[in-house]
Structure formats: C-alpha cells, structure tokens
Structure 1
Amino acid sequence: MTSTTPSFADLGLTPELLQALEELQFQAPTPVQEQVVPMALAGQDVAGQAPTGSGKTAAYGLSVLQLLDLKLDAVQVIVLVPARELALQVRDALKKLGKFMPNLRVAAFYGGHAFREETASLTQAPHIVVATPGRLLDHFERRSIIPNQLKTLILDEADKLLELGFQDELVEIVKRLPRRRQTLLFSATMSDKVVELIRKNLTRPRVVNAGEDTDELPENLTLLGHVGTVEKKPAALLHLLHQPETGRALVFCNTRERCMELTRFLVGRGVAAEVLHGKMPQPERDKALLKLRNGSSQVLVATDVAARGIDVTQLDTVVQYDAPDKADAFQHRAGRTARAGAEGTAHLLVTDKEQAHVKKWPVAASIQWKAMHAPKLPPAASKAPRPENVTLHVSAGKKDKVSAHDLVGAFVNVGRVAREEVGRIEVFDYYSYVAVPRQQAKEVAERLAGAKVKGKKVRVSVVE
C-alpha cells in the first residue's frame, strides 16, 4: 500500500541529493516536484504552470542534477531566466541542492557587469549555466560557451521572458542548441504566446499544472501594521521610505486621484517617486515601471488595476497606504515582495476603523501591529530628487529588428559607456529604454545622436 504523503526518496533521487534535501530541511515534495521530477528523470519534455513559491526550481533542479555526467567537461544544462536577480537565486539554489556532488560546477551569467568576470569562471566549462538571454547570446558569439553537448534546456518564468521582449534572443539561442535535447518550461501563466513557445520548442511535452497563484503569502514576508489617524499617514509613509532597509518600494492606493496626489507629495519631499494607474497610456506605464526596475526611481505609487501583472524583481517593500476592501486584494498586494525566496516587508497604514475591518480576515493573524510613527514633516524640497541612474529613450525597437544585444553594442562602442555600466535595457516595438549612470547621460545621448543601430538611424534622449 502506498503512503499518502510521498517522500523525496520515493521520487528515485540519488543519496547525494537526498542528503542535501535533508540538510536544507525540505520535508516532502511539493505538488509540482512530485509531478515533474519523475517525468524529467525519464527524459520527457515538461511544460509546467507553476507560480513563484511552488518549488519549481527544485523540481527541475533535482532532475537535471541527477542526470549530469560530472566527468564530462562540458555545459550540459542551460537555465534561461528573465532577470539577473533570478539568475543568482537559481544558481545558489542549484549549488545547495548539489552540495554533495563532487566537483559540480554551476555558473550564472547576466548583463550589467564586466565580461572578464564571467570568462574567468569559464576556464573549466560549468556543468550548468544559468543565464539571461542577451548575455548567453554574447557568450555563444564569443564562443566562450559552446553548447554542443547540451542535454537539457530550461525556460524558467517563460511568461516573463516573453513579456520582457526576449523572443528574438530565444529563437537565436535555440537555433544553436543540439536538436536532440530535453526541454523543460515553467510559467506562472499560460498565455497564447507561452503556448506558442511550447509548441515550437518542446517535443510531446507532459503538461503539469500547479496553479496560477498560491493562497498563502510568501514564507519570508514580514507583515507590519501601523495604526493612527488619517492625518498622520503622509508623514508615516515618508518616515518608512527614508529607512535604509526599505529599498525599492511599491505603494498601493485605492484611487487614481490618491496615487497622483501622493506621488506629488513624495516628489515634493525629495523622494524619487513615479505613479502608475489605469488611465495612463502604455508608454507612460512602461516608463514608470522601467524607472523602478532600473533604479531611476525608488518608489512606484500604484492602483490595484495598474499593478496587476507587473513584475519588479528585487522589490524590498510594499506599503498599503489605503487599506483594501477585501482579503484577497490585501494578499495580492503584500505578495508582490518576498518573491522567489527573497525576504520582504509589507506595511499597512490604517486608522482604527480600517484596522477593525482588516482584523476580520484570517490572513490578518500574522500582522504585527504597532502605533503609527509619524515624525514632523520636513518642508517641501525645492528640487526633485536625483537618483544615480538615468533612463535614455532610443527611437528604435523590436519592429526595427533591434535587440538588447544590439543596444549594448551601440552604447559601448559609440556611446563609450563601459559595458558593466550599461544598466537595464527594455526593448518595446518602436522604442527602447536604456539605463546609464547620471553623470554620463547627456554625453552618451550626444554621442549616439544619429548613430545607426541595425541599419536604422536613431534619436536618443534623456527620459525626465
């Protein structure tokens, strides 16, 4: 008779992996691990719908670690991820799972720092490469990574890879991989574009559905409630945003008007804040999000509707300036931080009446309540804050066949920006955004005026 609760041993994993799982205190497989590991170990292609927090990294990680040939000095697994932060998290998770595998080599490659740092780690081929698409293509072109012995390709957070415009890079990467390989794909949502990606790149995949979103809040999330009068809220928010641990923050308001009013207040008090609401045109929304992602702003003030479906990795803090009406809205907001195993804090600013409403929800049991701390407000600043990074707008995009890879080349070769100082790049259909250090922005824009990217003459301007 089979046990109702399966163990990791039941999945047919090696003693080395079971030892690591025990040390990491993984008790039992999550549903996605229970389904994916046996299929992947059997060499099948898998398309998994799995949200952050479902244990998908260990689901594919355990499988590919077990199938590695550690004596073979070649890249055998490539994990493609949408962002630098995720590349580092996945690399670290795989290293921990493979702790007891002798001579295991796992490397992470991503844009935003010097190539020499990465080529140094390639003197001996890593068994597993975790990379963002643009940087992986750079390595392919330099032949610093040769994937001719690849066994498995993993597309992690496929929906985000597509949302961030990496379609062209994915096509280019797949062209250079062996036809006979295993492909595993994971995505929080199964949009038409993701389904098309599966159809083109996976062979007779087994489909696993571990749900779109979990009801539970992330484990590493701290919930703090601050109780006081409505009049104290602006000063309390400003105080929270000035704390060094607050970092990058998303602030929720219940109405568009409140969002705009609060953003004006924060900018007037020296906080680099942007607003995001449903009535904004798409380019303006893209710009507001991009500034938060690339460090050109510290705070994004948003409505629930506008924030649905947005993704900002490395979001340290969420502040609910207005208490939401329903528990699921509260969870959705709070769960925007502490994603993918990172730590995060969610603050809630409430009056006595709002607190009484929130306390009716089961999820409120984990909120630590305290009195609102609202120091005297400083006078309005005469100048808007100046973050270290500035965003440049480039008048060419995907429809001009321009990729992030092309833009890096132009900014390094023509704009004379050191490769490691080119910040986050986002490519849209007809334009692109590139983050560069503030002190270089004006000169870089001038150098690139009239330059050609993929044969198209471009205009470059500073985004204010």
Structure 2
Amino acid sequence: LDRLDTVLLAWPENFEEGESIAPLMQDLPKEAQRIIHTAAPESVAELVERYARRALTLGAPAPGTVAELVGPVRTVSVPWDRRAAALADLVELLDPPSLVVWSLDRGHREAIEQALSLQEPEVRLVTGDAPRAGTIVAFDLPTPERLRQLLSAGEVVLLLPPGTETYAARIAAPRRPLRLPATVDAITTAAAAQRAAVVRGLESGRPERALLTLAPLFERHDPSLVAAALFDLWIAAGTSVPSALPDIPATSKIYVGVGKKDGATANDLVAVLTKEVRLDRTKIGRVELREAYSLVEVPAQDAERVASALNGVTIRRKRISARVDRGAARPERTERKPGPRKQR
C-alpha cells in the first residue's frame, strides 16, 4: 500500500458492505489521492466525510439543491454486452422514420455498424450534437446537459445496463420503459399449459411474500427478465403442470382506465394498441366504451402482455392504468326511482 498514490472508488453506493473497504482506506498513505465516482452523492456522504474530507466535488449539484430533471425519455434495460444488438431490436420495435445513435466516442462503431446499416441521413452515428431525427438512441449515458440537447433534436431512448438505473433517475423524468421483442420469447402452443398454471396462481390471490422477496430485483432488473429467470428455475425443478387448458378462455378483456367522460373513442384505443403496444389489428376484438373506463377484447395468451404495456400510456392527455379484467361486476350509475314514502 505504501506505493499507492491514487485510489478510485467507482459507484460505492452499490457496495453491499461499506465496511469492507475500511481496512484498505485506513492503511492508505495520507498523501494518497482519493477519487470517488458516484451517481448518488447523498448516499455516499458518510463515506466521503470519513475517507475524503474537504474533497473537490465536480459534476454534482451543490448540497441542498435539486437537479432539474428533463424528459420524457424511453428506457431499455439491457446487459452491457448486448447494447449493440439491442439497437436492431429497437429499430424493429419503433420503426422510426430516421434514427441517430449517440455515443461518447467511436469505440463501439464497428459493433453498431454490424447491428445497423448506417445509411445517412436515415441512420447516423454521432458523438457530438445530435441532428434532428425521429428517434435518438443514447448508446452511452449522457450528462444532463447532453440529454437536453438530445431531447431538443427528437424522441430519446436511453440504454440502461445494470447499475445505471440510479443515474438515469437523477437526470431524467418521466421515464417510460420499453420491452424489446427479443426479451420475451414468442408464445408457443407447448408453453400454454405452463402459462395457465401461472394465471391460476395469480388468480388464487396476491402473492404478498413473493412480492416482498422480489421487489429489490424489480428495482435493479427488467421485471420480464426476472420472471424469465424464475421460470427457468421452475422448469429446472421439474414441477409438472397440466397439459390441457380447460379454464383458459380463447379471449380476455383488458380494463383500461379511460372512457367517454375523458373524450376517448374506440379509434383512440385501437391506435394505441397497434402503434404503442404493437398488437396486430386482427387480434383486437370488441371495444366497449363506458363512462369512466373501457373494456377491450384480446386473445387470452396476449392479455397480460398487453395490459402491462398499456400501463402508463397517455390517451386524450390522461395517463391510463390497465389490467386484465377478471369479470368483476362494474354496474353503471343509475338514477334511483322514488319509492312510496313511509308514514311516520
């Protein structure tokens, strides 16, 4: 340790045990330089006070100030080594009229070129100011100032590898997650019985204990990837499931929290389902518009995915909620008919 002149602590807010670095820091020479790289200064304030007092702070808001969030942005949770591959999935999902990929440098240019056909002006790779485009993908996480410039040029999608969610939350809001086609496997007939078992588990009651156990994972990883990992563990355990689906109907209804009083129309719902959720028009059944909500008929095997994708979408300037309708009665409000008055 006597030969060390600089120590860099990268993202110490993610360290599981802060005390684990105590022996190292205590034995450092007093003149050794200490550099702390963090996306959450307030969460490492105690560590800074203990090991880097009177440190020069760069790139962080002054104490007591609140950084201005910019947005809206879309986000994609993706492993570090799949960022380039995710670009092709994004193009397939969004089908933008023009695309700009922004990165800090050109170190990944070859991988990006393999994933996309860089044909200007439709598809471009830039490292400075982004030109106007239908969609701008931030291959690397931008600074707040750079994010403002990207947003001024078009709709922005942030690629969020594991561990970067905290930083994204500090610079951008609102954030709307996107699911890539490759994230969820295509629905097959062979998996229908397994899906049925999951549906029965959901309908049997709220799994409170499971939700408490998994909540930290949902904060750090894409929930669909967590579900996929649990599914693999379930299959590896050899749990048998029924092969028939007598209790799963051919169609299900999606409850959508927007209705006539909001000015919504059936065309609004169909447009969102086809453009935002990417549901084939032929899969959309009857649309029932009620005063305060709507019911949309879709294939049963698509119901959970569609409801999840609809959550948070804006229709007629209203941010909606959606869920699979379980058949609970929703009576319309009716006027009470006056009855005979009781004689006192």
Higher relative contact order (CA 8 A, sep 6+): 1
Using the size of structure 2 for normalisation, the TM-score is 0.25
Q: TM-score, normalised by structure 1?
A: 0.20
